[in-house]
Amino acid sequence: MKKIIAWTFIGYILYALAMTFYIWIASDTSIPSELAGTMADPATFLNEEELLLVDEYAKIRNTLYFLTLPTEWIFYFILLLLGGARAIQRWAERITKYKWIQAGIYLFWLTLFLTFVHFPFSYIRYQLSVKYNITVQPFSGWMRDQLVGFWEGILVMWIVVCVLYILIRKFQKWWWVISWLLFIPFIFLMMYIQPVVIDPLYNDFTELKDKELEEKILGLAAESDIPAEKVFEVNMSEKTNSINAYVTGVGGNARIVLWDTLLTKLNEDEILYIMAHEMGHYVMNHIVVGISGYILFSFFGFYFVMRVAKWSIRRFGERFHIQHLNQLASLPLLLLLVSLLLFVASPITNAVSRHQEHAADVYAIKLTKNPAPAIGAFQEITKSGLSEVNPPALIKFLRYTHPPMVDRISYLENYLEETDKHLD
């Protein structure tokens, strides 16, 4: 056991050194030579100090991401190996005979321990964001969001874990199928309540105050046959200097939301392009496609977790102090497998997301018929968030749900040039 733990940490150190070397020395973030001097070249819209800040911030942030990535897996593995998973179960069983309360106690301690593991990295990311003037949120506000997220996560997972283990105990062979069937309405429920229950826990949402701008945004929505009646703004200026907008929710709770920082840093045409981009997601049914794909993926995911979990208990159950899958002590094993599966699938889901984002860019150009403001908007997004214009290949592969700015801006510039040629 000591050797396994020792080699686990040695492996982590070697991995950390390899990733640090790749990010700081081996990777190439320079733009293609043919794009030098174009609007996609950060040297044309960032000064020398901003260029240095973008490079530093991206490298530090990417390093932190990869250092943090395996810590959750290592935590679950060590917890199982040392018998901690079983010990927490026994402690919960001594407190109460009620299974649903045992699940709550187990989740509290498991989440608390994992939070302690992640907190140093989360705090460093927060301080880094403050140092580079991305985050303006005071530490007290940041800690409040951490606490809200802690309890929100426990509450949601409590419901999930209680239902899951009831099914595992009652339907040993087909629990994964029934769980998947129940997972489908659960996804829609969470997406439905997200805008009206969960999001307001972190920020204040109001109707867009600029009614003239709202009228123009709703005009674009009408052109796209989107039955929108309101546009919402969120007070993100209390937390960040970066800018964003998004579509959230399903059915009657679907919302188009923009950050209030967007209103102060972009001009009207740039804002209209960003909102047209979000409308593109709605018109092309990206939310529906995303949910459908997630449901299909989750079917195979449940099957994979079931098969590997059963094999792991047969093969390593004695070492993990687990006899059956229906024990609460198996929860870290299930969470470990889910986390690993999501990571392995992330390159595919990221690629699909990047494709959808590009399609929304194209839709927004056709809707607004004015690509020039889009270029200005993307340049300002880069500047305000110190975004990396051309990330290393591995970073893009594993992290980017949007096309890199070099691709988005160069596409828009080419589109603008083609439009000018046709006009001539």
Active site residues: 278
Sign of the Cα torsion 161, 165, 171, 175 reads positive
DSSP annotation of 369 reads S
- 71-81 helix and 84-95 helix, angle to the nearest 10 degrees: 70
The amino acid present at 221, given as its one-letter code, is A
**Cα–Cα distance between 253 and 145 in angstroms, integer?**
23
* 26, burial (CB in 10 Å: exposed 0-12, middle 13-18, buried 19+): exposed
Query: Do β-strands 255-259 and 232-234 pair in parallel, antiparallel, or remain unpaired?
Result: parallel
**Cα–Cα distance between 398 and 386 in angstroms, integer?**
19
**Cα–Cα distance between 71 and 282 in angstroms, integer?**
36
405 φ/ψ angles, rounded to the nearest 5 degrees: -60, -30
CA-CA-CA-CA dihedral for 89, 91, 95, 97, to nearest 10: 30
245 φ/ψ angles, rounded to the nearest 5 degrees: -155, 160
Q: Name residue, tokens 């301080």.
A: 127
Q: Radius of gyration of the chain from Cα atoms?
A: 24
11 φ/ψ angles, rounded to the nearest 5 degrees: -60, -40
Q: What share of the chain is helix, strand, coil (3-state, %, to 5)?
A: 75, 5, 20
- Helix ranges (H only) for 321-389 are 331-368, 371-385
Is the CB of residue 374 less than 8 Å from the CB of residue 273?
Answer: yes
Structure tokens at 163: 């239902």
**Cα–Cα distance between 5 and 412 in angstroms, integer?**
51
State in Å, rounded, how far the first CA of the chain is from the last one.
Answer: 74
